[in-house]
A and B are shown apart, each in its own frame.
Chain A
């Protein structure tokens, strides 16, 4: 069956612009997670959703970052006024529930801020 998909696969943007990253989880998965993978910081947790609510936003690096999930399915991660330090691969994962242990990862969106 279809796995987690993310779009775009690559995004180059100018410093100061806003970007939206999209994640389509596996159908039926109620939990959705965003992570960031960068050379300096490794893999960092950003936020997770259970259904449409986000109980834990502790990993969002600043108030320029926000995320939403609608209809218990698609999620968008928005970065406003992008900075060069935002350059990274943004990974989305989903799981059946937050207690199902296995998270399935998408291929990621590579964001480059110039």
Chain B
């Protein structure tokens, strides 16, 4: 079945460091891909999305490119801030839409000043 594998954390970085969180997926058909973020004490929020191969999603300085050839959707940010400390979830939406989201296990990021 469909699945998402993302790098396990926790990840600890200093402010202004470069961030990469790896995400790969297995899916039939052509899924949509998402990164969700959960800040401490808050609910899940959509960070960015890509709906077809080679699309790049971006938001708040974060980027991820839908790579069909490597079945990957790695999250990157050039310079992290303390406020980026959160848990990040990679997810895929089945059947081309978002009837059901399949999530990775999450990666906890801590950014120190």
Chain A positions within 8 Å of B, measured between CB atoms, are 3-4, 33, 35, 42-45, 48, 55-56, 59, 91, 93, 95, 98-108
A4, A42, A56, A91: the one contacting B99 at CB < 8 Å is: A56
| Interface stretch of the complex, out of B13-21, B42-50, B63-71, B72-80 | B42-50
Which residues does chain A contribute within 8 Å of B43, judged by CB atoms?
3-4, 91, 105-108
Q: From residue 32 to 91 of chain B, which have CB atoms closer than 8 A to chain A?
A: 32, 34, 36, 42-46, 49, 51, 89, 91
* Whole-angstrom distance between the Cβ of A9 and the nearest chain B Cβ: 11
Q: What is the chain B residue whose CB lies nearest that of A47?
A: B100
CA distance A101 to B49 in the complex (A): 8
B46, B51, B100: the one contacting A56 at CB < 8 Å is: B100
Chain B 80-113 per-residue mask, 1 if CB under 8 angstroms from chain A, else 0: 0000000001010100111111111110000000
B42, B51, B100: the one contacting A101 at CB < 8 Å is: B51
Which residues does chain A contribute within 8 Å of B32, judged by CB atoms?
101
Q: 9 closest Cβ contacts across the A-B interface?
A: A43-B103, A105-B44, A99-B97, A42-B105, A105-B43, A107-B43, A45-B100, A98-B99, A102-B46
Q: What is the chain A residue whose CB lies nearest that of B49?
A: A101
CA distance A96 to B105 in the complex (A): 26
CA distance A98 to B102 in the complex (A): 15
Task: Return 9 A-B CB contacts under 8 Å, by A number.
Answer: A33-B100, A35-B103, A42-B106, A48-B99, A56-B99, A98-B97, A101-B32, A101-B51, A108-B43
CA distance A93 to B45 in the complex (A): 10
Which residues does chain B contribute within 8 Å of A103, judged by CB atoms?
46, 98, 101
Which residues does chain A contribute within 8 Å of B103, judged by CB atoms?
35, 42-44
